[in-house]
Chains A and B, each alone.
Chain A
Amino acid sequence: MTDASQPTVPNSSLHILDARTKRRNAAESRFKLYGMIAIGIGLLMLVTLLTTILSKGTGAFTQTFVTMEVELLESKLDKTGERDLEKIKKVTTFGYAPLIKTAFEQTVETHGIDTDLKSKTMAKILSKSAASQLRDYVISNPDQIGQTIEFRFLANSRVDGYMKGRVTRDSIANDKNITAAQLDFVDQLIEVGALKKTFNIDFIIGADASDQRPEAAGIGVAMMGSLFMMLVVLALALPIGVAASIYLEEFAPKNWITDIIEVNISNLAAVPSIVFGILGLAVFINYMHLPQSAPLVGGLVLTLMTLPTIIISTRAALKAVPPSIRDAALGVGASKMQAVFHHVLPLAAPGILTGTIIGLAQALGETAPLLLIGMIGFIASNMPGTVGEGLLSPNSAMPAQIYEWAKRADPAFYERAWGGIIILLIFLISMNTLAVLLRRRFERRW
């Protein structure tokens, strides 16, 4: 019995763990824990990112307004009483400032607010756009001169920040734009209900505003810029991408040219986006003299960038259609081209569509190439009137507008940047959801 002579561990049993096994088991659970921590970190970052965006950005959707009755004095606006539009237009916004001052005096009187502020100081709680808002109204409704009409004016960004908790009495110690006395006045206006924070549709549909008026800035025009760029991308990238994939998947002979094309496409997919921006600047703007900052140029650059994504997903969709479909079509006498266009392509359409939407979503969020072709650095203030204008006149795009706001060193603009991100993400999420739904609804397993 050689076994008996071997030293045995006393009381050894599979049910009782020895030190080594315990160590190994501990290592096992430690390793598993690392994995869980890693996932946890990833998810935590996602949650942090989303909560940051939501908590900082929702403020941009509400805005502080002051509601007041303004008497449109004939003596100030139309001295001759002829209601001649040309003469009314000659009154500049400075001419409207006294009306606002008077309106404040009357508001104080009717609500019985006790304040020793001068009307000029009171009027400073309004946005700098208040007078031009009044002027625009009068010019489009000259017959209202002489009437007293209720207006809703934007409060300036400091007052708005005070309502949102961004500005406090402590933080304005060195601020030239607002005083504690004005904030007291704001409090009194809130009490009588003349100053309120409400939903602000102009942030979503309005135009950008100058550095001095963050309260009036909106993302609407930039949204149109993005829309026109996406139209260009869709109109170019989808047909070209599908055509290229059909060629590579169905017709291309196996040779070195095809190999080069394939390697090229997979490399283009990984080229940094800024390089496409340089290409756009050099070719479309410096060589072809297309207009700078135009959504058309942005769309062309993004098309080149999106093409590899669309080609890769379209090829996968074409590959998923079983060869028996092609064989059946060829068997009843269709040409190869007919087999592809009449049978394979319709069956691959849902997959192609999904890939295209995802490609578009990527293009929508891209910023870097847009910086180089000049879609930042100016105020996108004009809503394009026609399609041609939308494609060729200078505009911004949503991500470029967000970057522009982030560069202006004013916390009120930061809030707008975060708000813009919420809108951008809503677009991206709905596009991706649409893609997922399409895939679920139409995907066929062969």
Chain B
Amino acid sequence: MPLSWLVLIILALAAAGYFIGRIRVLKLAGGEIRALHSLPIYYGTNVALSVAVPALAVLLVWLLAQPTLIERTITGMITPEMIPDGSNLNLVMSDVRRVADGLNTAISSGAMPVAEVDAMDATVVDVRAKLGALGVALGQDVRPEVLAAAKSYRSAAVTGNALRAFVVLALALVGFVVSMSKTKPDFRARNVVERAVLAFLMGAASLAILTTVGIVLSMLFETINFFGLHDWRDFFFGTTWAPNFRGDSELSILPLLWGTLYISFIALLVAVPVGLFAAIYLSEYAGPKTRAIAKPLLEILAGIPTIVYGLFALLTVGPLLVNMFGQSGSLGLGWMSGATSVLTAGVVMGIMLIPFVSSLSDDIINAVPQTMRDGSLGLGATPSETIRQVVIPAALPGIVGAILLAASRAIGETMIVVMGAGAIAKFSANPFESMTTITTRIVSQLTGDGDFASPETLVAFALGLSLFVLTLGLNVLALYIVRKYREQYE
């Protein structure tokens, strides 16, 4: 039975259960709603939930587990001798999967009866030609052992699906019968339903934890695989980044980290002074009208997608900088050879971060108690002296927190550096050269046609994990500082 039908049947059964449960309890109470413990809808909902929840939960687990189990069994069938030279287990398995899919297509399109598929022998029949006629393209001739594996793959899947339909439907029916027998006027249906709802609410809330765990685990496993193939000392302490898809790569994070930090530093060099002064002006000098106009306008900058900044860096800022600092540029310096450079990416990223720094600092400056300003002004200090000597020192921890948050944004930013920073990994202090970052390398290592078992692809997971740890550390530190600071004035 197809999956969509199964789900539809369960849902229909649940909907029917809702109405039957409602009607039944009212009938049992003789139509007297006051004789019920809960409102009739709760009895109906109880039946519907008892039908749908266990059945769908089992279905979900089944869907996740079945492919893994079948895969494992079939993988066990393939002995090392069956893998041809120059191939590996993954390639053979993907062949098996493709042939099994092809057999399924053949059966479902009616071109081959099931018996013919089961009796098919690769030494006799040209499977490739046969499936090719049905629109299933196979890269090479099907070897007998692959066909055998594909056949057991297919039959395992068919048996699994039948069993799945049976178990799930049986569960739904059992849920229906049990909940229906419980449906009596003195049954505390509301409490049961509310407990179920609460469980759903809790589940939703813990999805956040699940996501974090998912992030960490998905990267951790692949990182461990990577360190199995590549020396961890080279990754953390090496000085060269030179991936080579024929093997023997030097994959070290240090040059990438240098590029990342350098670009982030330039971004902060742009964003922090501008953002901070803008925040000071807005919170201390600007009248309500200026504030009402300037603040939302500045915040538009934060709402613009990063792809726009990336394009701006690649096509506008980069060429502009080349025109100024390039070989035949207006300043005649010849410092810059291409549009992508640390400066290009840094400046554009700085623009993006201006509203981030300014609105965070604005909140923090506003949180400094007015009495401190009044005291300072009362002693005869000018407003700027008050800001520099009273407000800023008082707000300093918060501002540092804001800058750390901005730094973490800059380190994790992807599109601007992918489009504006270049692809050369090196240690250089020249901001006019193009350099590469951790995020850029993650994108390029994972979007290539690389094999998922090679260190050149797996390194992206190690880079991702390092990036995650780095930004997480900065965020936790920043939030800690900001929270500490808030407590001080509350």
Give complex CA distance A38, B272 in Å.
Answer: 10
**B203: which A residues are within 8 A, CB to CB?**
243
Interface-centre pick from B207, B212, B355 (highest chain A CB count, 10 A): B207
Let me know if A251 and B198 touch, CB within 8 A: yes
B373-395 CB contacts (< 8 Å) to partner A: 382-385, 387-388
**A276: which B residues are within 8 A, CB to CB?**
215
Give the interface size class of chain A: 35 or more
**A42: which B residues are within 8 A, CB to CB?**
274-275, 278, 297-298, 301, 354-355, 358
B280 interface residue (CB < 8 Å to A): yes
Also in contact, A278 and B460, with CB within 8 A (given A251-B201, A367-B305): yes
A265 interface residue (CB < 8 Å to B): yes
Let me know if A39 and B310 touch, CB within 8 A: no
Interface-centre pick from A39, A244, A417 (highest chain B CB count, 10 A): A39
**What secondary structure prevails in chain B residues at the interface with A?**
helix
Q: Mark B282-313, 1 if CB is under 8 A from A, else 0.
A: 10110000000010011011011111101110
Give complex CA distance A239, B203 in Å.
Answer: 12
B186-219 CB contacts (< 8 Å) to partner A: 190, 194, 197-198, 200-209, 211-212, 214-215, 218-219
A14 interface residue (CB < 8 Å to B): no
Give complex CA distance A80, B412 in Å.
Answer: 65
Q: Mark B128-145, 1 if CB is under 8 A from A, else 0.
A: 000000000000000000
Q: Mark B398-423, 1 if CB is under 8 A from A, else 0.
A: 00000001001101111100110000
Which of B276, B285, B442, B479 lies in contact with A32, CB distance below 8 A?
B285
Which B residue sits closest to A336, measured CB to CB?
B194
Let me know if A244 and B439 touch, CB within 8 A: no
Let me know if A361 and B314 touch, CB within 8 A: no
Which of B204, B311, B314 lies in contact with A243, CB distance below 8 A?
B204
Let me know if B304 and A311 touch, CB within 8 A: no
- Nearest CB on B from A241, distance (A): 8
**B301: which A residues are within 8 A, CB to CB?**
42, 45-46, 49
Interface segment out of the listed A129-137, A197-205, A421-429: A421-429
Let me know if B311 and A421 touch, CB within 8 A: yes
Also in contact, A267 and B201, with CB within 8 A (given A274-B443, A282-B219, A335-B194): no
A295 interface residue (CB < 8 Å to B): no
Give complex CA distance A414, B205 in Å.
Answer: 43
Interface segment out of the listed A92-100, A142-150, A399-407: A399-407
Let me know if B308 and A270 touch, CB within 8 A: no
Q: Mark A283-312, 1 if CB is under 8 A from B, else 0.
A: 100111100000000000000100110010
Let me know if B305 and A272 touch, CB within 8 A: no
Interface-centre pick from A251, A275, A311, A403 (highest chain B CB count, 10 A): A275
Give complex CA distance A395, B201 in Å.
Answer: 33
B468 interface residue (CB < 8 Å to A): yes
Extra inter-chain contacts (5) besides given A35-B282, A251-B198, CB under 8 Å: A247-B202, A272-B467, A278-B215, A287-B218, A368-B418
B residues within 8 Å of A by Cβ?
A: 64, 67, 190, 194, 197-198, 200-209, 211-212, 214-215, 218-219, 222, 273-278, 280-282, 284-285, 294, 297-298, 300-301, 303-308, 310-312, 314-316, 351, 354-355, 358, 382-385, 387-388, 405, 408-409, 411-415, 418-419, 439, 442-443, 446-447, 452, 460-461, 464, 467-468, 471-472, 475-476, 479
